[in-house]
């Protein structure tokens, strides 16, 4: 299949028009006319992911987070982003990123389903057309009321993480939960306004955490990678179903840091 045909399939899942204005999604490196026989999927276009894609003979690298955010004034080997662009071109690998468009059309629904939430609503509306509202994150009711500690256990099981960081009293009751995969510090007030008793997300710092807890919102921080790594198997299954004949490879689980 041509790269453009793959892009059309990806856009059916998460149209680029749903991305936030500050984001940089779509085909970032390569030609839409390139023949694609193999796709490698990762969360980030790290040096390691690019080397793995090259060793696998992939024609297209698909990631959630865009490798290029800021405009590049030059592409050379002195800069780590430049080196990655060069490596992709040297190996004739096209590169496509689907970030906040997938957050809106994909990640929000997936995260709510993993938690078993009911009566879900958009947490932070970023796209509105008539009565249609889409956006970042979701908020809904748990299958049954539980404590923050029990909710933390549910998060670990649902997202496949070994540990979480919790702000707020562990024995507090929770019935309504907000989930924002990735970095959720910007949606704390939205979660409070929505009546959530807990927010499941990543990248919460000390001050955001204690301030949220002081306002009655427990924070369950499962890590940025922890709550977003589901992008890889989901898109793997999606492409295998819709792009028959194209080999789809998934990067194995790779935590970005270690505890010592």
State the Cα–Cα distance between residues 69 and 51, nearest whole angstrom: 21
123-163 tens-digit pLDDT: 999 878 788 889 999 999 999 999 999 999 999 999 999 99
Same domain, 169 and 204: yes
Count up the domains in the chain and report the number. 2
Statement: residue 15 has pLDDT above 90:
yes
Give pLDDT, residue 127: 78
Same domain, 93 and 153: no
Same domain, 117 and 214: yes
Distances (CA, A) of 252 to 12, 48, 73, 146, 259: 26, 11, 33, 33, 19
Q: What angle do CA 79, 249, 43 make, to 5 degrees?
A: 45
- Whether 205 is covered by a domain: the verdict is yes
- Whether 256 is covered by a domain: the verdict is no
Same domain, 188 and 108: yes
Q: What is the mean pLDDT of residues 196-224?
A: 98
Paired residues of 136 in beta bridges: 124
17-54 tens-digit pLDDT: 999 999 999 999 999 999 999 999 999 999 999 999 99
Q: Are strands 60-63 and 132-147 parallel, antiparallel or unpaired?
A: unpaired
State the Cα–Cα distance between residues 77 and 85, nearest whole angstrom: 9
Same domain, 93 and 108: no
Residue 117: CATH number of its domain: 3.40.1390.30
- Whether 260 is covered by a domain: the verdict is no
Same domain, 74 and 34: yes
Give pLDDT, residue 1: 96
For residue 236, give its domain range: 3-98+229-250
State the Cα–Cα distance between residues 7 and 227, nearest whole angstrom: 25
Same domain, 165 and 239: no
The token duo for 8 is: 């059309």
Q: Are strands 94-97 and 60-63 parallel, antiparallel or unpaired?
A: parallel
In this prediction the pTM is 0.96
Same domain, 114 and 208: yes
- Whether 255 is covered by a domain: the verdict is no
Give pLDDT, residue 254: 87
Same domain, 108 and 87: no
């Amino acid at each position: 299949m041509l790269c453009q045909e793959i892009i059309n399939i990806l856009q059916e899942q998460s149209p680029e028009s749903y991305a936030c204005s500050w984001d940089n999604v779509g085909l970032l490196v390569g030609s839409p006319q390139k023949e694609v026989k193999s796709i490698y999927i990762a969360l980030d276009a790290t040096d390691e992911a690019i080397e793995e894609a090259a060793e696998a003979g992939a024609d297209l690298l698909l990631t959630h987070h865009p490798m290029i955010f800021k405009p590049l004034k030059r592409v050379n080997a002195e800069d780590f982003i430049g080196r990655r662009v060069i490596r992709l071109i040297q190996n004739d690998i096209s590169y496509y990123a689907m970030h906040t468009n997938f957050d809106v059309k994909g990640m929000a629904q997936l995260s709510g389903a993993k938690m078993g939430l009911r009566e879900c609503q958009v947490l932070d509306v970023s796209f509105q057309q008539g009565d249609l509202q889409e956006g970042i994150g979701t908020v809904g009711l748990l299958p049954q009321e539980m404590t923050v500690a029990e909710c933390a256990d549910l998060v670990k099981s649902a997202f496949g993480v070994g540990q979480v960081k919790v702000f707020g009293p562990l024995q507090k009751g929770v019935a309504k939960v907000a989930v924002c995969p990735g970095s959720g510090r910007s949606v704390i007030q939205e979660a409070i306004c929505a009546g959530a008793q807990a927010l499941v997300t990543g990248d919460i710092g000390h001050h955001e955490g204690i301030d949220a807890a002081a306002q009655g919102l427990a924070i369950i921080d499962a890590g940025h990678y922890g709550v977003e790594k589901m992008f890889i198997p989901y898109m793997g299954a999606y492409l295998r179903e819709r792009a028959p004949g194209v080999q789809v490879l998934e990067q194995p689980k790779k935590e970005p840091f270690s505890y010592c």
